[in-house]
Amino acid sequence: RRLRGGAVSRFSKQRGVAMVLVMWLVAAMSITVGGALALAREEIGLASSRLGEAQAFALAKGIARLAVMDRARAQMAVNENGDLDPAGLSKVFMSRYEIDDFTVSATIYPASGFVSVAESDPAVWRQLLTGVGGMDNVAAATLAEQIVNSELERTASAGSGPPGSFQFYSRYRKARSAVYVEQLLGIEGMNRAVYDRIRSSISPFNVGSGVDPTAAPPEMLAAFGAT
């Protein structure tokens, strides 16, 4: 009887240890499976976010091209008398598009509504740096002089190949391609924060000095004091 009782006691202990091991394994597997599921959900969410970004980019790019084409057609439209329709000659073109469940409004502003990267008037740069870039007047005036006195236009060599070659640009095309907006980052006094704020308000084309208020977007109107 003593042996039987001892055997039963050892069996009970072994069964208890086995139960603990089983519970520990179940808990470990639950944690592992839970972690795997959480990681899968995170990856699915990231993939969905990237897909949404790609769709938004493709949609915006398509709408932009469609708006440019519609603007060109509007500028060539004629009225009943065969004359160009004045409505199509407006500087700012606005249109609305509906694609599936999306409604997109597109607005095209001409380059004259922005500050040209080849602008030579420091007062225009100072106004942009204070009104859009958020700089104080003293720092903006100093940076504006640095921009105007820099050699941005002489640093690019686009289109400088021999005449007749594919690297050769006409004088008109070379003037439009000689300067890159990103070159402003290399000017002393310019920092990334200010550059990011003014980047979308700068035209890469040499379209003359100043800003045309009748063709400028709202942020440029506010910065240059137009009403």
pLDDT of the chain along its 227 residues, tens only? 444 555 556 656 566 667 777 787 878 778 887 778 888 888 887 888 888 888 888 888 889 888 888 888 887 876 666 666 665 567 888 889 988 888 889 998 988 899 988 888 999 999 999 999 999 999 999 999 998 887 654 444 444 444 544 344 455 444 444 567 888 888 888 999 999 999 999 988 777 788 888 888 998 988 886 54
pLDDT at residue 3 in the model? 47
pLDDT at residue 11 in the model? 55
pLDDT at residue 173 in the model? 47
pLDDT at residue 193 in the model? 93
Distances (CA, A) of 55 to 17, 26, 92: 56, 43, 27
pLDDT at residue 24 in the model? 78
User: How many angstroms separate the CA atoms of 56 and 197, rounded?
Assistant: 22
Q: Which amino acid is at 193?
A: A
Half-sphere exposure of 161 (CA within 13 A, CB side): 7
